Structure 1
Amino acid sequence: MRNVVCVVLDTARAKSTGPETTPTMTQLAAEGTTFENAFATAPWTLPSHASIFTGTYPSEHGTHGGHTYLDDDLRTLPEAFADAGYETVGVSNNTWITEEFGFDRGFDELRKGWQYVQSDADMGAVVRGEDLREKLQATRRRLFDGNPIVNAANILYSELFQPAGDDGADRSTTWIRNWLEGRDDDRPFFLFCNFIEPHVEYDPPKAYAEQFLPEDASYEEAVAIRQDPRAYDCEDYTLSDREFALLRGLYRAELAYVDDQLAELRTALEDAGEWTDTLFVVCGDHGEHVGEHGFFGHQYNLYDTLLNVPLVVHGGPFTDGGRRRDLVQLLDLPATLLESVGIDDLALLEQGSGRSIHPQSAAEPRDAVFAEYVAPQPSIERLEARFGEIPDRVRAFDRRLRAVRTAKHKYVRGDDGFERLHDIESDPLEHVDIAADGPEQVRALRERLEERFEPLADAEPAAAVEMREGTKERLADLGYL
């Protein structure tokens, strides 16, 4: 294989993908290899992407809610491809995956998909204004932050001309198509792309939404539902079963929309004559709760709803590979991609915990996968600053969590003594805690966790890294702050 393309469908959970919602990905799986038991190392974007880029677990790469920067001493996948002679291009539609948080290393270009004209100044505050007064205030405050002409163009696009129902995917695929058509570089390329459409807020085009909403529901009713996961957690408002049903319809519609953008990306590669020479990877970075276990969003816990993600690899040794049920992790991607194209980067491979899932790999298959939630995001203090008094249920989330999952059992432990055990074979949705009935299994899996990581009591989150004010506003819009 010559090229590598890695596409992350942000917030895509495995249970919601398939022929109905993601036919393009299903076709890729039929032609390539699908991994039914693929797991993220963390339940949200920043630490999960850091694991994909470095092959390390969150407590190893140290990138999490308490330390929001990918440290410079870690080798990244784009750096490995760049040093092997590849052209390296990234397109990010999630504001965590930018140079501000250390994800630009190794990229010849890392494009910010939420900006029509690429600029360091972010006009997101204008977009989020609740009324004309707020929009004008934000424009006055931000217009001269950088190039005012570029900022004005971005404001006009976002306020007047941006297509409804798209959070950057269409612009991204268009840009990638133009880039492919204009390339005159003989080097192979590594392309990374994050599509954020399945992330809150769910606002798919109306035609997509109507395919997945209940028959007795209207598009207008669905999009009128408040979507604020942190406010829901803190009991600032409630959602009925019907409202969650409608939100799940919108979420599935977002997956369908971004799957069509995936088809556009494939067509662009085919038209450029690159498809047959490309190893094409599609995965989710984490999942989502849309009412499951009493949660909305993807924070504060390690249920499979958040960790089990789609993973499809197409091309080269993965052609006609069928469906694999072995346990794999997203942090296995660096070792897998390097082996698939014949790159030997010891610095990247030796720093990590990944195992190649190449069909001919000599790596031992996993008998367990692991995940971590190193620090609450947002912190309990920030929730208190926003909502005042918060429920005891939410205050209990102020803890570190780790999970180990085998083919049969799932065990989760917190640094506050919290623990749960589930029989995955009989209880795949993790509804029944059997920890009290299986002390020997609990002890064995707790030992597995302590073999993999240091004891929870000895683990200390790194110091926080301050972020720019404009980035805070954009992340708040995504429900992180």
Structure 2
Amino acid sequence: DPPPPWHKMYPQRALTLPEGWRLPISEQDLRQNNSFDFRAMTESRFRRVLSHYYANISLVDKQVGRILATLSSRSLTNNLIVYTADHGDYMGQHGLILKGGQLYDSVLRVPLVIAGLARQGRGQVDPTPVELADLMPTFLEAATIRIPKRVEGKSLVGLLCHRGSGRRAAFAEGPHGAVVVRTAGNKLVESPDQEFRALYDLNKDPHEFRNLYGTRRAERVQAQLTELLQKRYKRGGKQ
């Protein structure tokens, strides 16, 4: 629970519940989610959980602000500042809570805020897919240190300074041998151990409610993303 006064920052009755929070949980999601099945949770209790979750985020944000204010007050302005996370939480999406499950964007698509490299890009949001593995080469290039050839990540310096392109797609891995490839508009999930595959049109279905895998309308996109997955994991020595 967040400490006072944060615990009252978000009135429970005023919160908007996530779209699909009471959708039936698929057996596939239950098999892959080892965190918490909250199907029996009442709405009032869930609102309390959500209220405290938002409050803790605001608490962390406040402390980050203190760090930035300290840097500024001491004239320590020659910095590269990155704010991100290792994973997200469902908080009701798809009838799940915390993390785990079928690798929906609720868990995979984390914040990535970068400041200190390019003034002309301040306040802009770039939809280019990136991976957390891209941060290490970004740090090295920003510090004018040579990036080893075997590094899988791709420096974001060129993208941030508007002098280079980013990735065509980003990849991720999960439990039960699951792998994911995501472009700006589509996403393919393959979990061979669970005999599960999913394809989502993120432009029309941003919450990933409609699985298009195996449908005629998605044949071309499915083939393209499957090829990207095969190239990635053949190159990395993973099957």
- The aligned amino acid for 2:151 is G
Q: Which residue of 2 aligns with 1:335?
A: 137
Q: 1 CA distance for matches of 2:121 and 2:164?
A: 21
Q: Secondary structure at the match of 2:204?
A: coil
Confirm or deny: 8 A CA contact 1:420 1:433 kept in the other structure. Answer: yes
Confirm or deny: 8 A CA contact 2:13 2:47 kept in the other structure. Answer: no
Percent identical among aligned pairs is 29
Confirm or deny: 8 A CA contact 1:232 1:238 kept in the other structure. Answer: no
Q: 2 CA distance for matches of 1:355 and 1:326?
A: 12
What is the Cα deviation at residue 449 of structure 1?
0.6
Match of 2:182 among 372, 397, 405: 405
Confirm or deny: 8 A CA contact 1:408 1:425 kept in the other structure. Answer: yes
Q: 1:352 to 1:363 in 2, by over 3 A?
A: farther
Q: 2 CA distance for matches of 1:345 and 1:320?
A: 24
The residue correspondences of 1:49-88 to structure 2 (distance < 5 A) are none
Matched, 1:433 2:237: no
TM-score by length of 2: 0.80
Confirm or deny: 8 A CA contact 1:317 1:340 kept in the other structure. Answer: no
| Structure number with higher relative contact order (C-alpha < 8 Å, ≥ 6 residues apart) | 1
Match of 1:246 among 45, 48, 67: 48
Match of 1:422 among 200, 207, 230: 200
Q: Secondary structure at the match of 1:281?
A: strand
What is the Cα deviation at residue 261 of structure 1?
0.4
What is the Cα deviation at residue 300 of structure 1?
3.0
The residue correspondences of 1:376-387 to structure 2 (distance < 5 A) are none
Provide, for residues 318-371 of structure 1, a one-character-per-residue CA deviation record: whole Å limited to 9, x for no partner. Answer: 56432222222221111212212212242xxx2222112113476542111111
Q: Secondary structure at the match of 1:273?
A: coil
Q: Secondary structure at the match of 2:229?
A: helix
Provide, for residues 193-241 of structure 1, a one-character-per-residue CA deviation record: whole Å limited to 9, x for no partner. Answer: xxxxxxxxxx212321211132489xxxxxxxxxxx84733x7x83123
Q: 2 CA distance for matches of 1:408 and 1:345?
A: 30
The residue correspondences of 1:276-425 to structure 2 (distance < 5 A) are 276-318=77-119, 320-321=121-122, 322-346=124-148, 350-358=149-157, 359-360=160-161, 364-373=165-174, 375=175, 399-416=176-193, 417-425=195-203
Confirm or deny: 8 A CA contact 1:355 1:363 kept in the other structure. Answer: no
Q: Secondary structure at the match of 1:419?
A: strand
Q: Secondary structure at the match of 1:312?
A: strand
Q: 2 CA distance for matches of 1:211 and 1:297?
A: 21
Gap runs ≥5 in structure 1: 1-202, 218-228, 376-398, 460-481
Q: Which residue of 1 aligns with 2:29?
A: none
Q: 1:278 to 1:308 in 2, by over 3 A?
A: same
> Larger Rg: 1 or 2?
1
Please tell me the root mean square deviation across aligned C-alpha atoms, in Å: 2.5
Q: 2 CA distance for matches of 1:277 and 1:409?
A: 38
Matched, 1:232 2:9: no
Q: 1:247 to 1:363 in 2, by over 3 A?
A: same
- The aligned amino acid for 2:154 is R
TM-score by length of 1: 0.41
Q: Which residue of 1 aligns with 2:222?
A: 442
- The aligned amino acid for 1:265 is I
Q: 1:216 to 1:267 in 2, by over 3 A?
A: closer
Q: 1:308 to 1:343 in 2, by over 3 A?
A: same
Q: 1:413 to 1:318 in 2, by over 3 A?
A: farther
Q: 1 CA distance for matches of 2:117 and 2:105?
A: 30
**Superposed structure 1 runs of 4+ greater than 6 Å apart:** none
Provide, for residues 403-442 of structure 1, a one-character-per-residue CA deviation record: whole Å limited to 9, x for no partner. Answer: 1111221110111331011110000010111113223332
Q: 2 CA distance for matches of 1:318 and 1:302?
A: 34
Confirm or deny: 8 A CA contact 2:170 2:183 kept in the other structure. Answer: yes
Q: Which residue of 2 aligns with 1:120?
A: none
Q: 2 CA distance for matches of 1:308 and 1:231?
A: 18
